[in-house]
Amino acid sequence: MDRSSSYALCQRDLLPFVRIVAASAYWVRRLPVQSTRCPGNEISGSTGSTSAAVLTALVYAPYTFNGQGPSASCMNIISNFTHGLTAEVHAARVRTSATGPVTLIPSITSPMRLLPWGAVRGRALSKLNVDFAKATDRADPNRTVAYFWPNSPVDLIRHAKSLGILTIREMINSACATSREILIHANARLGMRASGLSSADKVASEIKELQLYDFIFASNPEVEASLTSIGIPKENILRTSFGWDSRRFDGSAGMEGVPTPRFIFVGTLGVRKGIPDLLEAWRLAGVDGELVLVGAAESADINRIVQGHTRTGRIRAVGHVDDVGPLLRSADVFVFPTLEEGGPQVTYEAAGCGLPIITTKMGAARLVSDGVNGIIVEPGAVRQLADAIRMLASRPDLRIHYGEAARRDSARFTYESVGAQRSGLITDAWRKRHGKAGATGQIGN
């Protein structure tokens, strides 16, 4: 069957379903918004009675909430809010339930939420923008904070500010201006074709957007530096972090180990994560051990490079894995020479599994301290990375020492702690705006 015939047959088979969805959409628009509500963080007065939460965070999250990616990080944070802070999350689509002091409101509901994202993306985001604008209109500016996640429209930010609502922006990664420069230089250094770059227009529009917010969360010192480099005042930057969910690793028994040290990398295999540097460093190190690469290759070019190195038998690429717990627990060292990050969750997870960590400042995630629980190398410094690999391969005592320290330090970054710290920062920012006293929730490093 040729391609045109196949396409026509596909259209014919899908037509009845599409007609049902189109007819249902009329009625879906008239149904009440479905939301997932959980008990709020009510606060007790001096008499012991409870009262409504003192502050609400209206969260703009243009994602499908499915327990993965940015939506998972968002839910992990806000579901652990404390300080009398509740969250009303406006999401593009919802395929999971909320926990904690959270109301989760999708912009599209069944049956449209069951369709492929590409088919509903435009409608979902358009309705999300309308719903969020209405939510800010209804809100009490004196008891509301607008908490925006990446890819938020400028018009919504300006609208919230015009109503007197405090605005805060989440940074998942460095500013686009920083990441673009890093990737341009890295690809040039490696002689590779640049891909996945933010356009110059995207960089310019993000700078204008970021300058609108009252405050911006920065998940590591490198993100802070990227923000100040584009003109964001230091006093508008709130130091914070991402975290890890220890429950994901409950019962995750380690896989059968190997007699020689096993190093593990977890993440997308690409230039941004430092994969070409890691492969070359592993070759130079020449250690008697195994390197396990967990994650999908970002391009055919990277896949060819990886496959070329796996032929040695000392490198194993296992692809994407849903449950990385057993692999992490089977390893001896986590190696993550990333060039650009925000606050990588995988660093916290590896530390939680008791692994010593080799990484860069970008990958350190406010957790890794050089010579304490791991080794920090300069990004792109292949020989320095090879030396770090060689050192930990030959020093089992050092691996144990760093690993135990990493496990202890990871306890400060569970999402329970991170959510409480974030809510403290939000309420402090709100108190500052309204002239109320309150202790800061900033963290160090």
Q: Which of 45-54, 116-125, 222-231, 427-436 has the highest mean pLDDT?
A: 222-231
pLDDT confidence tier of residue 110, bands split at 50, 70 and 90? confident
Q: What is the mean pLDDT of the chain?
A: 86
**DSSP letter at 195?**
-
Of residues 126 and 118, more confidence is placed in: 126
Q: What is the pLDDT of residue 445?
A: 56
pLDDT at 120 over 50: yes
In terms of Cα–Cα distance, which of 154, 120, 367 is closest to 244? 367
Angle at 269 between CA 266 and CA 272, to 5 degrees: 100
Domains and CATH numbers, the chain: 32-239 (3.40.50), 247-413 (3.40.50.2000)
For residue range 336-379, list pLDDT tens digits in order: 999 999 889 999 999 999 999 999 999 999 999 999 999 999 99
**DSSP letter at 255?**
P
Q: Are 92 and 60 in contact (CB under 8 A)?
A: no
Percent of the chain residues topping a pLDDT of 90: 72
For residue range 400-410, list pLDDT tens digits in order: 999 999 999 99
Neighbours of 228 (CB within 10 A): 15
Q: What is the pLDDT of residue 390?
A: 98
For residue range 209-244, list pLDDT tens digits in order: 999 999 999 999 999 999 999 999 999 999 999 999
pLDDT confidence tier of residue 19, bands split at 50, 70 and 90? very low
pTM: 0.85
pLDDT at 98 over 80: no
Of residues 224 and 67, more confidence is placed in: 224
pLDDT confidence tier of residue 139, bands split at 50, 70 and 90? very high
Neighbours of 220 (CB within 10 A): 28
Least reliable range by pLDDT among 41-50, 189-198, 232-241, 423-432: 41-50
The residue type at 365: A
Least reliable range by pLDDT among 22-36, 115-129, 249-263, 307-321: 22-36
Question: What's the CA gap between 361 and 378, in Å, rounded?
Answer: 7
Helix axes 300-310 and 275-285, enclosed angle (nearest 10) = 10
